[in-house]
Amino acid sequence: MENVQAYRPLSLKDWIITLLITFIPVVNFVMYLVWAFGNETHPSKKTWAQASLIWLAISLLLGGIIMAVFGLAFVTAAASDAI
């Protein structure tokens, strides 16, 4: 006979603990990686962690682009004032 476990959704308590862990700096990033790529992670939490990491990457990329554009504008303005 196959050892098949029935799908059990995460409880409210599970999600509260999960979100509490994500509020802790550095620990949250490590846990996102563990949840996203771990084999023992609940499928719902695994998908949520993967989506969160994708949004984090997009946010960092856009933030870097915005900082580069405004930084370049600031440097250019400062250089033109110095002349």
Per-residue model confidence as pLDDT tens for the chain (83 residues): 555 667 899 999 999 999 999 999 999 999 999 999 999 999 999 999 999 999 999 999 999 999 999 998 888 887 777 66
The reported pLDDT for the residue numbered 35 is: 97
Element (H, E) at 72: helix 43-82
- Positive or negative CA dihedral for 34, 40, 49, 24? negative
The reported pLDDT for the residue numbered 83 is: 64
Q: Residue 68: what are its φ and ψ, rounded to 5°?
A: -65, -45
Type of residue numbered 81:
D
Residue 6 neighbours by CB distance under 10 Å: 4
**Tokens standing for 28?**
């949250």
